[in-house]
Homo-oligomer: A and B are copies of this chain.
Amino acid sequence: MQKVINTAILGASGYTGADAIRLALRHPGIELVALTANTHAGKPIDAVFEHFRGYGLPDLVAIEEVDWTAVDCVICALPHGTTQATTKAIRASNPDCVVVDMSADFRLRDTDTYAQWYGIEHGAPELQPEAAYGLTEHNRDAVSRSKIIACPGCFPTAALMALLPPLADGQIAGEDIIIDAKTGISGAGRGLKQGMLFSEAGEGTSPYGVGHHRHMPEIEQELSKAAGAPITIGFTPHLVPMARGELLTCHVRLAGGATADSVREALARRYVDEQFVQVLPAGAVPKTQNVRGSNRVDIAVFADRLPGRAIIIGALDNLVKGSAGQAIQNFNLAFGFDEATALEQVALFP
């Protein structure tokens, strides 16, 4: 008999919340018992996402209305800065409830770093040590044991999947890692901003947050851990006119006699048993088109024309492997489901 996990999704009126619902609807072991969206409490889900009409989902409620004692798992898609208090409240009434968090609130181990980059004090420093960093393929043990799973940001997921293995192997240098990122517009969230209107974001490309994007300290934290030494990165994200998708071009310095080929081979070995990671053969290029709607990461390695350098490129869907998909993957791990459950979706191409 199929086990069923009573699950609440918090922040159901945003894109990551919606993608968690989309995936959960196909998960045989998830019963969606509550969907929250405080500014829309009382409305049916199709008032905020029409494509969910007719699936029998519960109406939206305010967070305060959820009875945590009836919830086994909370998938949290709240804005940064609000999840810490919510997690404390959940913990107070139901210590066994697993929180799978897609915000940044529990990603940074150092609460000072959190305060510095997010502009507010950490609201639950006592819980931070419990949080597992949910980069599934690199942290299964902690994820499967923890009751707070801090899913990585979309950019960190792509960056770390591409860079952690060669860095840990000493195949690339820790200095001078330059990450040039391209993201679809959904990465900016559902908030109303003029620059995200179709007429303005369409047919154009532009950088943003140059030199000060909040995903930087998160990437640095994990790279530093892998390298055993502090690492600072360059990171420049760009908005490109597509709804979903993220492509990271990592310009790196080779180390220890490594070549682009040896880096590719090492990545291929590292991920050979990972169903959601694909290291492309030499010459093949990652395209966000090839992972749209799927939980996959595609990674490729190229020799640079600059001697002693290589280019490592990773592509994923920011709303799937970059957030909701990885959240479900971690959910599966935490509750003992096959890790691919509800994530079998092949990329939607064209």
Residues of A within 8 A of B (CB): 15, 18, 22, 25-26, 49-55, 176, 178, 180, 182, 184-186, 190, 192-194, 196-208, 210-212, 216, 232-236, 238, 240-245, 247, 249, 251, 278, 280, 284-294, 302-307, 309, 311, 313, 315, 319, 344-350
Contacts and interface: CB of A to CB of B under 8 A. Distances in A.
> Copies per complex?
4
Given A15-B199, A51-B349, A198-B198, 7 more contacts: A26-B345, A50-B290, A202-B202, A211-B311, A212-B305, A240-B241, A241-B242
A203 B22 contact: no
A197 B53 CA distance: 20
Given A49-B349, A180-B249, A242 B196 contact: no
B216 A344 contact: no
Nearest to A55: B346
A311 to B, nearest CB: 6
Contacts of A280: 53
Contact of A247 (B199, B205, B233, B302): B205
28 contacts: A15-B199, A22-B347, A25-B346, A26-B345, A26-B346, A51-B291, A53-B278, A53-B284, A54-B278, A178-B306, A180-B249, A182-B205, A182-B240, A190-B197, A192-B194, A198-B200, A199-B350, A202-B243, A203-B242, A205-B247, A206-B247, A210-B311, A211-B302, A232-B307, A234-B304, A234-B306, A293-B293, A348-B348
B204 A245 contact: yes
B285 A350 contact: no
A189 to B, nearest CB: 9
A315 B212 CA distance: 21
A92 to B, nearest CB: 34
A141 B193 CA distance: 44
A350 B200 contact: yes
B287 A205 contact: yes
A348 B319 CA distance: 11
**Which interface residue of A241, A293, A309 has the most chain B CB atoms within 10 A?**
A241
B344 A26 contact: yes
A243 B198 contact: yes
A182 B185 contact: no
Nearest to A181: B180
Nearest to A350: B199
A94 to B, nearest CB: 29
Given A204-B289, A285-B208, A350 B15 contact: yes
A201 to B, nearest CB: 4
Contacts of A185: 197-199, 202
